Amino acid sequence: MEDILTDKASWGNLLVIAIGLLIFYFALQFLNKIVRRAAFLKVFQQPIKNVIRYLLQLYEMLAIVILGSVFVLINPFYHGVLFLIILLIGFPHIKNYVSGRMIKLANQITKGSNLQTSNMEGIVSKMERLGLNLKTKQGIHFLEYNKLLSNGYTILAGEDIGGFYQLNITAKEEETKTNHTVKLLDLLITAPYLDWHHKPEVTAKNDNPNDLEAKILVREEVHVHELVALIKEWGYGCRIA
């Protein structure tokens, strides 16, 4: 059995598998963008979004395992030793990466979460592969996922700190043909008040393309009222959730 697998494993096969995995990954990303804007899916939109989110979180690890296995099978002894050395050297990063996948799959911590750890409190402004950026009053701190799990954390309820807000935005009823999700994102790019450590998110609510929800991070808390006024100048109804 091992001889059969070894005979079929080659650099050509590795390249073909890598290209196939990459194409499938981009297809998932593309599908994810479509579903996020597909209000016509109605009650099925959120379940489909959840399935795609789980697939994206697990797919990267699965792809690495597949490519690593084929790489080892090309030359089991030498490649196996090399792969083992890479695992030993990169073990701290691998541990952080796996911890991050666990946290993201649990979906308890997301961008905008108000997080308290053993020695600091702040808003999650970005979630990377090996850790997250926590925006505090002192500045932005990078926390490794493994240390976050080891030290423990609390997701605080109540108002977010650091300028993260959710806005309820309403478009004019007569403008039914306009894609307000795209239009509003384009307009927000021009707004001077946003903190671009967190990309604004705009989604349709209640299957109504004119009823929108925006999640934004402003540079200073006082800017949120100026942003609300600006959105109203654009012709939308807007209030802080």
Separation CA 130–CA 70 (nearest Å): 25
Of 25, 29, 32, the residue nearest 48 (C-alpha): 32
Domain of 174: which CATH number? Answer: 3.30.70
Separation CA 70–CA 80 (nearest Å): 11
- 31 located within any domain: yes
Q: Which domain holds residue 233?
A: 164-240
Instruction: Based on the fold, state whether residues 201 and 233 are members of the same structural domain.
Output: yes
Q: Which helix (H) or strand (E) holds 3?
A: helix 2-8
Q: Helices 91-106 and 76-89 sit at what angle, rounded to 10 degrees?
A: 70
- 103 located within any domain: no
To the question of pTM greater than 0.75 for the whole model, the response is no
Residue that is written with structure tokens 């650099």 in the block? 11
Separation CA 39–CA 43 (nearest Å): 9
Of 187, 109, 118, the residue nearest 150 (C-alpha): 118
Instruction: Based on the fold, state whether residues 82 and 119 are members of the same structural domain.
Output: no
Q: Could you tell me the mean pLDDT of each successive run of 10 residues in the chain, 241 residues long?
A: 54 91 92 74 74 87 91 90 92 90 83 81 85 83 88 69 74 68 82 74 74 80 82 85 70
Query: Domain count of the chain?
Result: 3
- 109 located within any domain: no
- 134 located within any domain: yes
Confidence at residue 20, expressed as pLDDT on a 0 to 100 scale? 93
- 194 located within any domain: yes
Instruction: Based on the fold, state whether residues 16 and 53 are members of the same structural domain.
Output: yes
Instruction: Based on the fold, state whether residues 119 and 143 are members of the same structural domain.
Output: yes
